[in-house]
Amino acid sequence: MSADVDLLKRRAAERAVELIESGMVVGLGSGSTASHALRRLAEFIQMGKLHAVRGVPTSQRIEQEARALGIPLIELDDMTGIDITIDGADEVDPDLNLIKGGGGALLREKIVAQASRREVIVIDESKLSPKLGTRWAVPIEVVPFGWRSQAGYLESLGAKVTLRELNNAPFHTDQGHLILDCHFGQIEDPISLAARIKARAGIVEHGLFLAMATEVIVASSGGIRRITRGTD
């Protein structure tokens, strides 16, 4: 990632943190953009600008980072809902549908997103796409048992499937699952594809986040803009 792109993402993440109010329960997304938001949130808490804020992390790494920064945490099961979640995305279409999971935390990210009253996505403009799948594969989380049969099923749906690896070994999620990165090309009907993916036993979750983002904050060289659902 270039220094310029990282600076843009940091500025957009900091803008998103301004939406947080004292007393809120905040979903803490994973990934580089979300880490910028995490650090800004910690600064606001330390400055006294925000108080009684509690975070729900979407990965073990973010949990560790949040604890190190002094952000109070709470279990998702201990509250009725999350006020706002700030997270990143790998690709965003004009309807604010997303592909997520590049960092491997898609299952927890989706659980937190579904429990959130407001899902704010922070990206740089390179993540905007005319259709999902144009630039990014769909990560699909599967149980290790029989994973090759799930890969075959996904290939029957038109995907080119790659088992994600880390350090020359299969990558495992926080839940001990595997990730299959599935290149479908441009996805004409993401709703239908999502339903077909979830119809298969052994497939835990997919990285299509449909109708979940309430707004997207986009950083570009021309500045920062905010897109809400139903606008352009």
Give the pLDDT confidence score for residue 16 in this predicted structure: 94
Question: Per-residue pLDDT tens for 41-75?
Answer: 999 999 999 999 999 999 999 999 999 999 999 99
Q: pLDDT-based confidence at 34, cuts 50/70/90?
A: confident
Active-site residue among 14, 91, 109, 141?
A: 109
Supply the pLDDT for residue 10.
Answer: 87
With tokens 């999620």, the residue in question is: 173
205 is catalytic: no
- Tally of CB atoms within 10 A around 36: 23
- Residue 2 has what pLDDT? 62
Centre a 10 Å sphere on the Cβ of residue 165 and count the other Cβ atoms it contains. 11
pLDDT in tens, 123-157: 989 999 999 999 999 999 999 999 999 999 999 99
Provide the mean pLDDT of the chain.
94
For residue 38, name the pLDDT band (cuts at 50, 70, 90).
very high
**CATH number listed for the domain at residues 3-127+210-218:** 3.40.50.1360
* 156-172: average pLDDT: 97
Q: How far apart are CA 162 and CA 85, in angstroms?
A: 30
Give the confidence band of 223 by pLDDT, cuts at 50, 70, 90.
confident
Q: Residue ranges of the domains in the chain?
A: 3-127+210-218, 138-203
Cα 223 from chain centre = 23
Closest CA to 62 of 83, 41, 91: 41
The residues, any chain, with a CB within 8 Å of residue 21's CB and separated by 6 or more, are 50, 83
**How much of the chain, in percent, has pLDDT values that exceed 70?**
97
pLDDT higher than threshold 80 for residue 167: yes
Confidence of residue 8 (pLDDT cuts 50, 70, 90): confident
pLDDT per position as a tens digit, 92-130: 999 999 999 999 999 999 999 999 999 999 998 999 999
Average pLDDT over residues 198-208: 97
CA 11 to chain centroid: 18
Q: Which CATH superfamily is domain 138-203 in?
A: ACT domain (3.30.70.260)
Which of these, 82, 16, 8, 70, lies nearest to 45 by C-alpha position?
70
